[in-house]
Chain A
Amino acid sequence: MADGQGTRDHRGWTRREFLSAAGRLAALAVLAPASTSVLLSGCARGGKRLSRKLVAGSLSVALDADVETLDPAMHRSRTVEAVVRNICDGLVARDAEMHYVPQLAADWKVEGEDRWVFKLREGVKFHNGDPLTAEDVKFTIDRIIGAIEGLPPSPRKDLLGPVTGAEALDPQTVVIHTDGPYPILHKKLVFQEICPKGYFEKVGPDEFAKKPVGAGPFRLVEWSPGERIVLERFADYYGGSPDIPPVGPARLQGVIFRPLEEAATRIASLEAEEVGVAVNIPADQADGVEALPDAHLSVAQGTRTHFVGMNLTRKPFSSPLVREAMRYAVDPNPIVEKYLLGRARALPGILVPMAFAYDDSLPAPRQDIARARELLRIAGYPDGLRVTLDCEANDKRIAEAIAGSMKAAGVQAEVRVWKKDNLLNQLRRRERDLFLTSWGNSSLDPSGILPVLFRSDGYSNFFGYRNPEVDRLLDEADRAMSVAERRQKYIEVQRQLQRDIPTCFHLALEELYGVSNRVENFAARPDGMLPMHDVSLKS
């Protein structure tokens, strides 16, 4: 019996195997021409009921990543923030030109050094009907700084710097206390959205992360992870900041966010009019979007810096000579002009030129092969360096271009690709030597990027960088009450970094969005936010 079994299996196997091989073969070989249409039909299936086309009055937005939570206080993701900002308003917001304007706050004033008094707008309601009061603001601040017992710590705590607590003076007045002077508190508050205390306490943190309630222009209708987030216009919206006209309820009936991680899928969906806005168009595919008959490209200067970082705690990059050699190893010109088609800018340091206290005296990055080789030789690497350049999948092409460029300088870098979260965790454990990653700084203030990356205890100090002088300067800059003094401190930090070289190549990519011509009043923003309040659709 066993014999018969074996023979039958053997005979049947070849046929079956051939068929399955043929099937997979067809799938893979035809993949090239068919990929777009396959992906498209996949999308159409996913969003059939709500977004087969741009449903009248609703706008579909293709995101480049899924969201892991919708709790405004429990993430460090720009995608989550861009979605949540439509559901929950904050005390302060920024207009399209990145000016700071009061949103839920009517106005504020600083009393003494460490007391900020905020007057709230009258008549603001949360989506569940509760009025917004100073207690909600206090609750929001206290939750982020970890002053409420029994709740998990917020990854956004460091975005509030030395805030020590909040106090509700009366229903419309709230005081935020800081430990010493903190002149940029209002700028930091754009990253925090006000959550309803009553609702949160009723449903608890887990439920709140799935069904947040806020005082924003849209309320959450449905969130199917990996598929879509559906928002509906909130009719009782207070109108938004008067500094960002028009004031009133949102003009769209709804917004549908859809995570489409593949850039090609986002572009195809835009072309098929399944989405009206597609975020994060790669520079080398921008021409394809511009060529679409019914869509255009919206461009903003990026606030995210891509950088090649090094691990200072291990060989070979523990050697300052090797790090200096790395600075001269990459030729920025072909990378910017050819591979990224001019839609990027190579920078001398981690700050983008738009940022406060950008040091424009730093030398522009350039390749100097002879110098790099000489430095490597002195450092004890006469035959050059063999290293692995780790990056996340989205940055693979840039990483390969960088690796290709470094060859001439004697640095043989092998590119290795990881999933983003996986890579970040390894970097935080300082397990990687040379890596290409990026950090966004939509605040355009050095406090949004320098401490998190370069303070000895920085949340994302991937380098093992430790310089007491930098720590001190960063602390002093936080407290400096005069603008000139702050600028000076940050410029000194940049010069220290220029000497210590924890990062050797910096790139700011333009933010490119594909936008359907039916969408009005939408423009790419440097901060990557997607405020939908003022957006409308041409009929």
Chain B
Amino acid sequence: MPEALTDDQIVETTAATTPGMFAVLLRNRVAVAAGLVVLAFVAVSVLAPWLAPFDPNLQHPDAIRLPPVWQSGGRAEFLLGTDALGRDLLSRILYGAKVSIGLGVMVVLLTMVVGTGLGMIAGYFGGWFDAAMSRLVDVLLAFPFLIFALAIMAATGPNLTALVLALAFKGWVDFYRVARGDVLSARHADYVTAARGVGAGTAHLLLREILPNIVPPIIVLATLRMATIIISEASLSFLGIGVPPSIPAWGTMVSDGRGDIATAWWIATFPGLAILFLVLAVNLLGEGLRDALDPRMRL
């Protein structure tokens, strides 16, 4: 990192590296494609109410288990067919994007803020706080996530608050560890020493000097965590303890359709593919971001 003595210069330096970073990212065609797919999913999740042909929970008793339109028996108004209660699969998948992405973003933001904040404090000050937090983190790392989530959700029944807490329960640990490690090394970096020398306070040091320099790995981590969260949410919903049944979620849809897989393959397959494509895209985008943001990985 170049030396930086004042705020303005830091901003400038950061700004100066940005085009280079984007250039690297844009050269990575896979990452660009993945980014476009992710953008498309985000757009779908926001625009679902306008894009979806039907209310996702509207049941059509006369159109049960209709195959997708290109199969014989399919009907034009149900492009991807219908499920066992006659609900339009396309509409449900579009609305399902909302749950997957919305929950993913919410949980990642929550864990990122909590984890990074605690990690920076622990890394900067060390001492008893660091020691206590690090032991807590060790304990959490040894905690089986799924069992914990199952216990919470079984006790409370499916509801969104408990789901977010269950998913966030361990997620912040990764951010904590990355932030703490990076702050530990940044604490004695020349630019921090210099800023301290010209009289910068602790808050200024942490937020204006150190934070901008540890953001890239945090962003990479957030992207990759996002993929894990989406899978975890889908897994919990698949087990029937994630999102409440009245909210269409991909995991629930796969679970609902698995009994019909021999006779109506489309009910479980399409939401399964949606999970596949979104998670794959997020992961590839994360890899691309890492290559672009983290020079250490560019070997």
A-side residues, CB < 8 A to B, are 2-3, 5-7, 9-11, 13-14, 17-18, 20-22, 24-25, 28-33, 35-36, 262-264, 282, 284-285, 287-288, 334, 338-339, 390, 393, 396-397, 400-401, 403-405, 414-419, 422
- Min C-beta distance of A41 to chain B, whole Å: 16
- Min C-beta distance of A260 to chain B, whole Å: 13
Question: CA separation between A6 and B62, bound complex, in Å?
Answer: 59
12 contacting pairs across A/B (C-beta < 8 A): A3-B181, A10-B221, A21-B224, A25-B276, A32-B257, A32-B265, A338-B61, A390-B157, A397-B84, A404-B59, A414-B245, A422-B154
Q: Are A14 and B290 in contact (CB under 8 A)?
A: yes
Question: CA separation between A396 and B237, bound complex, in Å?
Answer: 14
Best-buried of B178, B245, B251 by chain A (most CB within 10 Å): B245
Contacts A32-B258, A285-B260, A393-B240 known; A6 to B181 CB distance under 8 Å?
yes
- Contacts of A390 on B, CB cut-off 8 Å? 157
Q: Are B245 and A417 in contact (CB under 8 A)?
A: yes
Interface residues on B, range: 35 or more
- Contacts of B240 on A, CB cut-off 8 Å? 393, 396, 417
Q: Is B86 an interface residue (CB 8 A)?
A: yes
- Contacts of B263 on A, CB cut-off 8 Å? 285, 287-288
Q: Which of B64, B154, B220 contacts A14 (CB 8 A)?
A: B220
Q: Are A25 and B235 in contact (CB under 8 A)?
A: no
Q: Which of A28, A396, A405 contacts B254 (CB 8 A)?
A: A28
- Contacts of B184 on A, CB cut-off 8 Å? 2-3, 6
Q: Is B116 an interface residue (CB 8 A)?
A: no
Q: Are B272 and A416 in contact (CB under 8 A)?
A: no
Question: CA separation between A282 and B263, bound complex, in Å?
Answer: 14
- Contacts of B280 on A, CB cut-off 8 Å? 25
Question: CA separation between A390 and B244, bound complex, in Å?
Answer: 11
- Contacts of A3 on B, CB cut-off 8 Å? 181, 184-185
Q: Are B296 and A11 in contact (CB under 8 A)?
A: yes
- Min C-beta distance of A311 to chain B, whole Å: 16
Q: Are A25 and B258 in contact (CB under 8 A)?
A: no
Q: Is B158 an interface residue (CB 8 A)?
A: yes
Best-buried of A6, A36, A282, A414 by chain B (most CB within 10 Å): A6
Q: Is B88 an interface residue (CB 8 A)?
A: no
Question: CA separation between A30 and B271, bound complex, in Å?
Answer: 11
Best-buried of A18, A282, A415 by chain B (most CB within 10 Å): A18
Binary contact readout B69-80 vs A (1 if CB under 8 angstroms, 0 otherwise):
000000000000
- Min C-beta distance of A341 to chain B, whole Å: 9
Q: Are A33 and B269 in contact (CB under 8 A)?
A: yes
- Contacts of A36 on B, CB cut-off 8 Å? 261-262
Contacts A11-B297, A339-B84 known; A35 to B261 CB distance under 8 Å?
yes
Known: A3-B181, A22-B283, A29-B272. 17 other contacts (CB 8 A): A6-B177, A6-B178, A10-B181, A10-B217, A13-B221, A14-B224, A28-B238, A28-B276, A29-B276, A338-B61, A339-B64, A400-B59, A401-B85, A415-B246, A417-B245, A418-B157, A419-B154
Q: Which of A18, A20, A25, A393 contacts B275 (CB 8 A)?
A: A25
- Min C-beta distance of A20 to chain B, whole Å: 8
Q: Are B265 and A18 in contact (CB under 8 A)?
A: no
Q: Are A32 and B262 in contact (CB under 8 A)?
A: no
Q: Is B268 an interface residue (CB 8 A)?
A: yes
CB-based nearest B residue for A426? B157
- The interface stretch among B23-31, B89-97, B106-114, B226-234 is B226-234
- Contacts of A334 on B, CB cut-off 8 Å? 59, 61
- Of all A-B residue pairs in the complex, the 4 with the closest CB atoms, nearest first, are A6-B181, A334-B61, A29-B276, A32-B268
Question: CA separation between A2 and B187, bound complex, in Å?
Answer: 13
Contacts A7-B181, A9-B177, A414-B246 known; A28 to B234 CB distance under 8 Å?
yes
Q: Which of B158, B258, B275, B283 contacts A417 (CB 8 A)?
A: B158
Q: Which of A33, A288, A414 contacts B244 (CB 8 A)?
A: A414
